[in-house]
Each structure stands twice: as structure tokens, then as C-alpha cells.
Amino acid sequence: MVDMKVTLSGLVLDNPVIPASGTFGYGKEYAEFYDINILGSISFKGTTVEPRFGNPQPRIAECSRGLINSVGLQNPGLKAVKEKELPELAEIYSKPVIANVSGFSIEEYVECAKAMDEEPQVGIIEVNVSCPNVHDGGMAFGTLPETAAEVTRAVKAVTTKPVYIKLSPNVTDIAAIAKACEEAGADGICLINTLLGMRINLEKRQPVIANKMGGFSGPAIFPVAVRMVYQVAKAVNIPVIGMGGVESARDVIEMMMAGATAVQVGAANLVNPYACKEIIEELPKVMEELGIEKLTDIIGIIE
């Protein structure tokens, strides 16, 4: 019998598979398809202080082996998430969840993180400093070590729960930013968020997406994600949650060999609502094929 358990900052997960924020709603959308309690955890849809309608449409563009989205952090806002979405999620999912928060100022990050820290079902706070779809926030905080560290320190000052910083790949030195977050008190790092992409409609001679550019995700970015997970895992001494183009159990194992303790699945959920379920069911078989008894034995084994 193989052992798929992993531990993130004291939180024991039955397996390392976690749906990525923004691709799994608040869980109930997928609970219609299967028992979501098989998941290691859930990173629910990113929360901002105020409700957000998001960016103008169209905001999805298909690509070879991926997609571009410019949703723009659409969510019902902090109050609605606390009063409606989280209680409803607690009715269908019994394990600790990951609260993804974002903001347009340090104060907004602090307000969201402090509110999520009060929620008993939240096990980890995931701070998104990397969303490329919002003009006056998001990516700006995650592109420099100094600003990423500033957000980290501010959030850590008001929380008691583990804080994981979700980083953007749209930078020159991802390891330096991760190291700055660790030094500022981060308990873990999540990466990568989407790359920045663009498609053009040849007939209309204009960008496919109203926002012109958006976040490029899907299997096409997997090698970039593995490379960045490897670089960051070697640079820091805190857990790394890897993501970016994961669509199979073999991808999960590859990401873990690069240094990830757990792995988030994003775009695959939008293509196949059973993606996470199938990966979890496939993992034991692939582990046996590769002679892996415990997943924790392979974390970061690539020198």
C-alpha cells in the first residue's frame, strides 16, 4: 500500500492534489460530479475586500495546449464569502481549505487575511501577489522582492495561520522574490501563476480578449512551472506548492521531484471536471510503477 500523505506547515493532507484557486469555484460546483472530500485540500476562488464583476468580455481565448483568461478576480467580496460561500462549502467538504486572497493595497491584503484567519475551516492563507489581469494591483506587488516582502510582513502581522505567497512567473528572478518572502516570514510559496499571453483574431484584426492580454495557463506552461518550482525549492527552506499545466499523476510526481510538497491543478478542471479525481485515483498506480512507496520520499530529489 503506497502512502500519498503530505504535510504543509503542520497540516496533513491525504494526498497532494489541490484544485487551484479560480478553477474550482467554492467546491459546490464540482460536488455535483464526485465526492470532493477525496481532495487533499481546496484553494477556493480568490477573495477581495469588495465584490468584483471582473474584466469586460470576451475574456477567454483558446490556445494550443492551453487557454488565456482575463477574468479579473471576479468574486462576491469578503463579506459574502464569509457569510455564504464558506458555510456552504463546510456543508460539503470536511477538510481544512486554502483561502486565496488578493488586494489593491497593503491594507486590503491585511483586511482579507485577517478575516480569513478567523475562519475555523481555513487551514492556510494563500496570498496572491501575482494576478496578471488586474491593472492596479496583483502583479505589481509580486514583481519585486521588496514589495512581495512588504505584503508578506503585513499579512503575517495579523494572522496566526500559515501564510503562503503565490508568485508570478512574469519576472526575471523568481528565486530572489521567493527568498525575500521567506525572510519576511512566509510559511510557504505557491507557484506559478499564469504567464502573460495574447491572441489576435485575424479576421477582425483585433485582440481576442477585450483586455488585450491575459493569463496563459494549461499544459503548454508545465515545463516552465517545473523549472521555477525547482529553482525556488532550492532557494528556500519552506514548503513549495507547485502548479502550472498539471493534468496527470505523472505531472504531480514530476512537480514533486522538482521540489513541490503539494500540487495544485488549475486549467485541467475547466476542461475536465473529473481531472482532480482521476489524478488522485491514478497516483497509487503510477507510484507503484515507479517504485515509490511514500510521496514524501521524492520531494526535491532532483539535485
Enumerate the active-site residues: 131
Distance CA 141, CA 165 (A): 11
Distance CA 287, CA 101 (A): 34
Distance CA 195, CA 224 (A): 9
Q: Could you give the 3-state DSSP secondary structure of residue 183?
A: helix
* Residue 52 DSSP class: B
φ/ψ of residue 187, rounded to 5: -90, -15
Distance CA 263, CA 165 (A): 14
Contacts of 48 (CB under 8 A, 6+ apart): 73, 75, 77, 78, 101, 102, 103, 104, 108, 112
Distance CA 63, CA 32 (A): 28
Measure CA 60 to chain center.
19
User: What nine digits make up the cell of 71?
Assistant: 477574468
Residue type, 75: N
